[in-house]
Structure 1
Amino acid sequence: MAQIDAVPSTPTRTEPTGTSALAARRWLLVVAPALAGALAVLGAAADPYTGDGAALYEAYANDPDSLQVKALAYHVAYLFWGLAALLLAGLVRRRGSWIANTAGALALLGLTTMPGFVLADFYDSSIGALFGVDGALQVEDRMEGMWALAVLASSGALGLVLALPVAAFAAWRAGLLAWWGAVAATAGIVVGFFVLGPTVGAGLVLTAGFVVLSVALARVDREAWAVAPTA
């Protein structure tokens, strides 16, 4: 009886599990810094007043609509800012990994604090509208005496400001990110956040640095996004 040879099966090509999800995560990282900068510009443009004292409470009470746009824009800007640091830190798996861990901790510190702090704008506007500028100033004086508030505000702001530059440095140390991307992001934060303050010009400087970082992130080797091998 003649032997019947088995028909060879045609191999099928399948995409690695999670490829599309990783691609989405990659592009989220690429656009997150640029979105954070653009939203910071919107927040600064919508802000009824960028100073402090009685004039601030009067402006916030008289223009709650612009204030809401400002608060929402900054809230989402901080979210994208911290998210970019977290995602970038997650790419660093060997050299520079402890620096990336530090960046992740800083990002969490900023994310759990700074977006929530914009809620104070709503209270400032409402207190000023209902109880006048003097009432708002009395509340401010009362809050300034609370030491835990100062700790939360300073540590949260420090975490947000440092997270992305530290994550970018870790990625450069790991050979993933071009040096000019890390420098641009750091320069944008230093000039926009510290030198110029909460103005449209500062937001534009910040956005410029973050856009350069986004370009550098788009050039990161896609192999860096490959699923880590299991033991």
Structure 2
Amino acid sequence: MTATALAPTAPAADVPVAPATPFRRRALAVSTVVGGLLTAAGFAATEWESGTDKLSYLDSLVVDPLRSQVAAVLLHFGYCALVPMLLVLAIMTRRTWRVAGNVGLALSMLGALSLPGLLVTDFYDMAIRQNLPADQAVAVSDAAQALPLGVLISGPMIMLTFVGMILLSVAAWRAGFFHWTAALLVVVANVLPMAAPVGALPNIAMGACLGLFMVLVGVAGLRMTDQEWVSGTRGAGR
């Protein structure tokens, strides 16, 4: 046997903590908290459509153009925090429930990277509605959504992100860093649009659920010790 093979494995609590660890842990966690607040604010600021047809959506953007722009910017930066949030959850599962954590991260990442960029379409749809008659505006917007490769950055990818978030939440709970009930917020956020597809209240509630979930993940990351962050072991460094 080599000397390396004979060396005892260091306990999780004794894993060295690099000098950059505290800053990086706090940066990811704080970004997640701020992103959750921005996401909830973006949903609250949105002028929601009163119907399920495309024209209702386009008309809602031009009711108050400044408000629509503010909402899109808030949601863009709020959604940017989905990636640090996923990383926080993945770090919680680096030792316990690793397989579930890895699968959840893989399912979530592509959609999370796509979501912020989708908000730019609000600006284009707003300009289309402001500069074209209603029927032409609807035709142009529908034509853009009908392009075949668009599905790769919308619809199914977004749904996989929420599935992955739930799986990561359960894995983080099993690892001892997160409470399983927080995953219900993601479930509610997905069910609300299906139960009540139009109206401001269900959409604002959806944003509040998603934002609160992100805040809870960020707070859980802030409460971790640096030893827990590095080792993935609950109770390390306490």
TM-score by length of 1: 0.76
Matches within 5 A, 1:178-189: 178=178, 180=179, 182-184=180-182, 186-189=183-186
**Alignment of 1:200 onto 2:195:** no
Q: Please tell me the residue identity of whatever aligns with 1:205.
A: C
Matches within 5 A, 1:95-134: 95-134=96-135
Q: Please tell me the residue identity of whatever aligns with 1:222.
A: D
Q: Please tell me the residue identity of whatever aligns with 1:107.
A: S
Q: Using the alignment, how far apart are the partners of 1:62 and 1:135 within structure 2?
A: 18
**Structure 1 residues 121-148: Cα deviation after superposition (integer angstroms, max 9, x where no partner):** 1110011111132222001332343333
Q: Please tell me the residue identity of whatever aligns with 1:188.
A: L
Please report how far the alpha carbon of residue 115 of structure 1 lies from its aligned counterpart in structure 2 after TM superposition. 1.0
Q: Using the alignment, how far apart are the partners of 1:34 and 1:17 within structure 2?
A: 24
**Alignment of 1:37 onto 2:49:** no
Unaligned runs of 5+ in 1: 1-15
Question: Following TM superposition, where does structure 1 have runs of at least 4 consecutive aligned residues deviating by more than 6 angstroms?
Answer: none
Q: Using the alignment, how far apart are the partners of 1:132 and 1:79 within structure 2?
A: 34
TM-score by length of 2: 0.74
**Alignment of 1:223 onto 2:227:** yes
**Alignment of 1:26 onto 2:30:** no
Contact 1:109/1:155 (<8 A) preserved: no
Moved more, 130-139 or 143-152: 143-152
From the superposition, tell whether residues 93 and 39 of structure 1 become closer, same or farther in structure 2 (CA, over 3 Å): same
Matches within 5 A, 1:27-176: 27-51=26-50, 52=52, 53-173=54-174, 175-176=175-176
Q: Please tell me the residue identity of whatever aligns with 1:31.
A: V
From the superposition, tell whether residues 24 and 132 of structure 1 become closer, same or farther in structure 2 (CA, over 3 Å): farther
Unaligned runs of 5+ in 2: 1-15, 233-238
Q: Please tell me the residue identity of whatever aligns with 1:204.
A: A
Q: Please tell me the residue identity of whatever aligns with 1:168.
A: S
RMSD: 2.7
**Structure 1 residues 66-117: Cα deviation after superposition (integer angstroms, max 9, x where no partner):** 1111111111111112321123213433332222222222332123311111
Contact 2:88/2:218 (<8 A) preserved: no
Contact 2:192/2:203 (<8 A) preserved: no
Q: Please tell me the residue identity of whatever aligns with 2:43.
A: A
Q: 1:48 is paired with a residue of what secondary structure? A: coil
Q: Please tell me the residue identity of whatever aligns with 1:35.
A: V
Moved more, 110-119 or 51-60: 51-60
Q: Using the alignment, how far apart are the partners of 2:82 and 2:154 within structure 1?
A: 17
| Corresponding position of 2:177 | 177
From the superposition, tell whether residues 212 and 90 of structure 1 become closer, same or farther in structure 2 (CA, over 3 Å): closer
From the superposition, tell whether residues 37 and 193 of structure 1 become closer, same or farther in structure 2 (CA, over 3 Å): farther
**Structure 1 residues 202-230: Cα deviation after superposition (integer angstroms, max 9, x where no partner):** 322333444444443333343122379xx
Contact 1:188/1:210 (<8 A) preserved: no
* Count of equivalent residues: 208
Q: Using the alignment, how far apart are the partners of 1:33 and 1:42 within structure 2?
A: 14
Higher relative contact order structure (alpha carbons within 8 Å, sequence separation ≥ 6): 2
Please report how far the alpha carbon of residue 168 of structure 1 lies from its aligned counterpart in structure 2 after TM superposition. 2.5
Q: Which has the larger radius of gyration?
A: 1
